[in-house]
Chains A and B, each alone.
Chain A
């Protein structure tokens, strides 16, 4: 069974840092691009960052660029999101998601983790 299990969320003060992890199983992890998507009650779903299978190429939403870093360890089937300089507006449920599709601009998200909650508050 294909599974994605996130961990690492929690309560952090503004300006603080957190590192999210996502353990993948049931598929050839290194063969697929992966992405983080966050969900907030007020704004719905927002794409945060993606990384391609080899781990050498990544892109970020403008809202997190320069503060978040995505990475992966294909030997451990694990995806990461290092979040620095956290702001109140980063408060959300963060989902680890598997990408699928032929060309990057037609990628779709075929497997979602249940998410881990990040709360940024003093």
Chain B
């Protein structure tokens, strides 16, 4: 069982907005540790999407945004496109486990 909990799947039609939640605890997100998000397309290496809760690396479209509050974080994707269909993972650091942890991943389907 992952230290960070994500919904197994979300879906939306092209152009719509979807959000992916990432729920942690007082030893990771709630401890103030940053949350980061990755996009994993089939057959490719995971790609950094959001770092330090809200920041988009160069080249990431502004359709992607992150937020964090308390023991949870969220990734929002607006203006859904077919190319957004992928697995999305949140990541943080867990002080109890003394290591970096991922959510179980969320599969986004664009209908």
Chain A residues in contact with chain B, CB under 8 A?
Answer: 35, 37, 39, 43-47, 50, 59-62, 95, 100-101, 104-110, 112-115
Contact = CB atoms under 8 A, between A and B. Distances in A.
Interface string B69-111: 0000000000000000001010101010111111111000000
Contacts of A95: 45-46
Contacts of B102: 44-47
B8 to A, nearest CB: 10
Contacts of A60: 99
A39 B91 CA distance: 14
Contacts of A44: 2, 87, 89, 102-105
A59 B101 CA distance: 13
B99 A110 contact: no
The size class of the interface chain B forms with chain A is 20 to 34
A105 B48 contact: no
Most buried by A among B44, B48, B101: B48
21 contacts: A35-B100, A37-B46, A44-B87, A44-B102, A44-B103, A44-B104, A45-B89, A47-B100, A47-B102, A59-B99, A105-B31, A107-B100, A108-B34, A108-B48, A108-B52, A108-B91, A109-B36, A109-B91, A112-B46, A112-B48, A114-B44
B101 A47 contact: yes
A110 B57 contact: yes
A39 B98 CA distance: 20
Contacts of A35: 100
Contacts of A110: 48, 51, 57
Contact of A101 (B34, B40, B89, B99): B34
Listed residue (A45, A100, A101) with the most chain B CB atoms within 10 angstroms of its CB: A45
Interface in B2-43: 2, 31, 33-34, 36, 38, 40
Contacts of B31: 105
